[in-house]
Structure 1
């Protein structure tokens, strides 16, 4: 191609212009032809069927005309899209894995320097501590230098994390092993070192650096300190506290998990150790309270800025584990007060959750569940079974009625009711209702109260859960029958501690069963026809149970006047039920028909 490219472009532009003019001319001629044909059809009268075929009008030929080429301005092609950055190589994880392994091995070497070298008498303590400090400073300096080099981010994070953890363990050794500085000074120095490393993690926007600072300390700090002591617990709490401001504005859920673990795991181990030692430790209980405060405050601060609210709420609940296990190290009064405080604090957060940012539905459910568990622990720690049972059953009634629209409240009420019923069964088992059993006044009064509350809890739970479910009502009626029997038998034994009281209690129980059936039939007679099946079924079930008890137990067990009275009274009630229910039912149905016809 010998012509310049501008001449070629000019010639092509002229050709396209000529073609454009030609197409415009053809379009004009077609419009004119259509007009002529329309005029011809309008002047010719319509022919009889079949209509002749319209003649073919050939299109006139117009000779092509040449036009002078017109210059067209040059438009450059758009810039090609910028190339996408190359994806990270799949081998990148190898470097991270090697860096993590290097962190672990180096820190183990520091531990060997500080602990095993001291046990073997290698080097003087001053040299060991100084060597650890120099190594920590060199690692941090090397990491700072490497971070500014291309591709040095992974190595820089590993070096700085190793240096920070080494310095932190150096401070632990100075404070716990050699005792060169006091505990407050050691806590301040450890907090400064950890805060510096975590601040660098925030500056570099690296959650991995924060994890590599916290996680190794959780595993290696107890080895350096030769066990978990109260001072080590304080150091770990300081580490958890100083790591909180670093996470502000960062959605680092794994760093939060490491923070909670740093505070919780040493405390749980210390609580178990104190339990086997059999010693009370109020300072350890105070540390548990501090860990709970850190967990709650961290949750309220971090919830608005995280997308993992469910995980953060569960971690907060895990942070409550030490304070809810404080009864392993302190007496029951202190432990119950601490658990009650946790329950009240979390319940308050649930109530004002709409005003707190980030406290969404799932978070509120987790906090409410934790509050219920804390309340259960508080009651069982404060009271023995004879008092805890009625208290828990009363809580079940209150929570079921007040929180009937909330799923967590209903499950909490079920939990309180089940534990309260289990406590009731421990001091009044089923076999105690089959033979006369002596009971003291305190236990008898507790049984009477818990029997009433057990029946109320069964009814309240079914009413709050699903009042239209017949299977649930069957279970509730069974619980009510047992509660009534335990009440009457216990009352009889309190009034008369011999067989007479036992017989009178069972006689009263059978009569009450029949009376309850009569009440259900009376209630059913006042309902519309379509709504009677549930109460009628319950009444028939109670009648069947009362008749079975009457002939299988009362007839063979009760003696003398009690047997006579129970048969006569039950028979009269059954007669009254039959006559009265039929009359009420007919009257109610007639009233319904009359109202419908009007």
Structure 2
């Protein structure tokens, strides 16, 4: 019995031992295979990184470790005891694949190694040189007497057509091969620009076609070239065409003037028709800024000759309209567009300059029309369906309107009414801000109001002494004070009704409006006193009475603020501070100015009335404060 049990037990132990040995061998083999695969991947990655980099990178020694030889599988036998089982050989330590090779940063290629860089540079250089050659053919050949005019123009036309055809051929070949470069773009653009310069020559230099016909032919060439840029979706084609023709047109004509201005405006219109300034900011700048410069130079030349050109006004107005349309079109698709603001500003400078060099009547009328036109544009673009446009563009439009209005006032208003005109301009923009609820219009109103405030300071400074006040115009001072008070009131109203104005700015504007109202009311009261005194042949008495009444008026306003602050809980603290501050200012004026300036009964009246108002204000404030307190709890 015992011998059978021992035999069974030994056989069972032998089977388990064989299973353990088999599992150990399989595990060691699996580990060896995993290390071999990891090392192979590491070597492959290191090889690929070396091939992709410009400088060979030495592989890490960790990546060259070889996989260990597989452990030989021992033959199973039952007679071996567990103590004699050989331990499986440990695999050689190798690095994990993740650390086999450190990742290297791909080197940035030089600019000349970038795809298409050299081709683009050569194409641009070739376009510039070729166009200069065409301009020299048309202008220098005429100066030197080379060839007959017909041959010069014919050579220019043949060159232009050949370049356009070559551009199409190269483009077709590149498309068939799945490639794209700047070469066909530069060829076609050079051809169209050369053709446009030919039209400029036959219109302005040789006079073979009338101006209108030349402009029409040039428009056809420019539109066809820029539509090709749209078809190929290559902004570079349009930029080369527009810049080449714009910069070299004065070279062909050998002067700046009406013809050059009109031809560059036609180019700008063609570029706008091609893309509408949407997504092509460089073309928008190319079609507007150089053209504005050409118009400005033409205006300066004609004005220097003593014959300001009205054609320049038409060209500048058309250029400004094109810039405005393009900027609005681009702004509707890109809320962060800034190029539109730059183009509108550049064209507006040309427009204002072209109008400003003429006589007073035309200058004033033109500036006023520009102010109205841009104000209408601001109103239209502030809301749908056209707007809203980006804030920088709206600010530019409003700024042009405000500047034009101020220039119109300075240009046409009589000297006596200049300040009145500036104040009326500020009043109009403030009313527009309240009506349209537009923040941009509100900022334009603030800017014009600041200018108007500076101009208005001539009135209060003249009323510090009777000698200065006697020489001042009381009628304009009274009228300007009324208008300035209206501007202050509308400004305070505007910051309340326009959305998005910070609370601190609202409070500051209310305080500024109150101060402006007090100053204008004092000037108005003194002006009335002077007018009444002059009517009664006692101007000095009128001046003194006016200042005394102004001090009393300020004290009344202080009392109203103190009492009103108790009723309006939302503005209680502000009203209290303003009321006390105004009371201090009134007392200060009483002692520092009225005591030295006033005499006789008016000095007595000013002190007594001001003192009584202070006492009444304190008493009324105490009663009003008592009424606002909650009743005491009864037992």
Partners of 1:249 and 1:423 lie apart in 2 by: 41
Determine if contact 2:485/2:516 at 8 Å carries over to the other structure. no
Partners of 1:181 and 1:396 lie apart in 2 by: 48
The equivalent of 1:535 in structure 2 is 575
Matched, 1:180 2:208: yes
The equivalent of 1:408 in structure 2 is 440
Deviates more, 1:201-210 or 1:446-455: 446-455
Matched, 1:229 2:257: yes
Matched, 1:115 2:139: yes
Instruction: Sort the Cα spacing of 1:474 and 1:242 in 2 relative to 1 into closer, same or farther, 3 A.
Output: closer
Alignment of 1:64-75 (within 5 A): none
The Cα of 1:573 is off from its aligned counterpart by 0.9
The equivalent of 2:385 in structure 1 is 355
1:51-84 deviations in whole A, cap 9, x for unaligned?
Answer: xxxxxxxxxxxxxxxxxxxxxxxxxxxxxxxxxx
TM-score (ref. length: structure 2):
0.71
Alignment of 1:97-176 (within 5 A): 97-150=121-174, 153-176=181-204
1:12-43 deviations in whole A, cap 9, x for unaligned?
Answer: xxxxxxxxxxxxxxxxxxxxxxxxxxxxxxxx
The Cα of 1:309 is off from its aligned counterpart by 4.5
Partners of 2:248 and 2:598 lie apart in 1 by: 71
Partners of 1:462 and 1:254 lie apart in 2 by: 38
Determine if contact 1:161/1:213 at 8 Å carries over to the other structure. yes
The equivalent of 1:424 in structure 2 is 456
Partners of 1:299 and 1:386 lie apart in 2 by: 34
Partners of 1:520 and 1:561 lie apart in 2 by: 29
The Cα of 1:217 is off from its aligned counterpart by 1.8
Residue 472 (structure 2) aligned to one of 422, 426, 439: 439
Instruction: Sort the Cα spacing of 1:265 and 1:586 in 2 relative to 1 into closer, same or farther, 3 A.
Output: same
The Cα of 1:424 is off from its aligned counterpart by 1.6
TM-score (ref. length: structure 1):
0.75
Matched, 1:566 2:594: no
1:194-214 deviations in whole A, cap 9, x for unaligned?
Answer: 222223223322211111101
Determine if contact 1:295/1:316 at 8 Å carries over to the other structure. yes
Partners of 1:327 and 1:509 lie apart in 2 by: 45
Determine if contact 2:374/2:397 at 8 Å carries over to the other structure. yes
Residue 485 (structure 2) aligned to one of 442, 448, 452: 452
Instruction: Sort the Cα spacing of 1:306 and 1:525 in 2 relative to 1 into closer, same or farther, 3 A.
Output: closer
The equivalent of 1:217 in structure 2 is 245
Provide the secondary structure at the position in 1 that maps to 2:390.
Answer: helix
Determine if contact 2:521/2:550 at 8 Å carries over to the other structure. yes
The equivalent of 1:206 in structure 2 is 234
The equivalent of 1:516 in structure 2 is 557
The equivalent of 1:496 in structure 2 is 533
Determine if contact 1:491/1:505 at 8 Å carries over to the other structure. yes
1:436-474 deviations in whole A, cap 9, x for unaligned?
Answer: 422346534433333433542564466565566655544
Alignment of 1:81-96 (within 5 A): 90-96=114-120
Provide the secondary structure at the position in 1 that maps to 2:315.
Answer: helix
Partners of 2:443 and 2:161 lie apart in 1 by: 55
The equivalent of 2:92 in structure 1 is none
Instruction: Sort the Cα spacing of 1:113 and 1:394 in 2 relative to 1 into closer, same or farther, 3 A.
Output: same
Determine if contact 1:346/1:367 at 8 Å carries over to the other structure. no
Provide the secondary structure at the position in 2 that maps to 1:149.
Answer: helix
Provide the secondary structure at the position in 2 that maps to 1:122.
Answer: coil
Partners of 2:427 and 2:532 lie apart in 1 by: 25
The Cα of 1:537 is off from its aligned counterpart by 0.6
Partners of 2:462 and 2:474 lie apart in 1 by: 20
Determine if contact 1:458/1:479 at 8 Å carries over to the other structure. no
Provide the secondary structure at the position in 2 that maps to 1:428.
Answer: helix
The Cα of 1:511 is off from its aligned counterpart by 1.0
Partners of 1:450 and 1:121 lie apart in 2 by: 68
Partners of 1:391 and 1:250 lie apart in 2 by: 38
1:477-529 deviations in whole A, cap 9, x for unaligned?
Answer: 4333322222222222233343222222211211111111011011023234x
Provide the secondary structure at the position in 1 that maps to 2:279.
Answer: coil
Matched, 1:394 2:427: yes
RMSD (CA atoms): 3.2
Residue 283 (structure 1) aligned to one of 311, 318, 333: 311
Instruction: Please list every run of 5 or more consecutive structure 2 residues that lacks an aligned counterpart in the other structure.
Output: 1-108
Instruction: Sort the Cα spacing of 1:249 and 1:280 in 2 relative to 1 into closer, same or farther, 3 A.
Output: closer
Partners of 1:205 and 1:459 lie apart in 2 by: 51
The equivalent of 1:484 in structure 2 is 521
Instruction: Sort the Cα spacing of 1:442 and 1:505 in 2 relative to 1 into closer, same or farther, 3 A.
Output: closer
Instruction: Sort the Cα spacing of 1:455 and 1:91 in 2 relative to 1 into closer, same or farther, 3 A.
Output: closer
The equivalent of 1:339 in structure 2 is 370
Partners of 2:330 and 2:613 lie apart in 1 by: 66
The Cα of 1:310 is off from its aligned counterpart by 4.8
The equivalent of 1:79 in structure 2 is none
Instruction: Sort the Cα spacing of 1:304 and 1:500 in 2 relative to 1 into closer, same or farther, 3 A.
Output: closer
1:314-333 deviations in whole A, cap 9, x for unaligned?
Answer: 53454444444443244234
May I ask how many residue pairs the two structures share in their alignment? 502
Matched, 1:381 2:408: yes
Instruction: Sort the Cα spacing of 1:472 and 1:198 in 2 relative to 1 into closer, same or farther, 3 A.
Output: closer
Partners of 1:289 and 1:249 lie apart in 2 by: 19
Instruction: Sort the Cα spacing of 1:249 and 1:338 in 2 relative to 1 into closer, same or farther, 3 A.
Output: closer
Provide the secondary structure at the position in 1 that maps to 2:120.
Answer: helix
Determine if contact 2:119/2:181 at 8 Å carries over to the other structure. no
Instruction: Sort the Cα spacing of 1:102 and 1:281 in 2 relative to 1 into closer, same or farther, 3 A.
Output: same
Instruction: Sort the Cα spacing of 1:403 and 1:186 in 2 relative to 1 into closer, same or farther, 3 A.
Output: closer
Partners of 1:124 and 1:418 lie apart in 2 by: 63
Determine if contact 1:397/1:456 at 8 Å carries over to the other structure. no
The Cα of 1:232 is off from its aligned counterpart by 1.6
Partners of 1:480 and 1:261 lie apart in 2 by: 44
Determine if contact 1:397/1:457 at 8 Å carries over to the other structure. yes
Instruction: Please list every run of 5 or more consecutive structure 1 residues that lacks an aligned counterpart in the other structure.
Output: 1-86
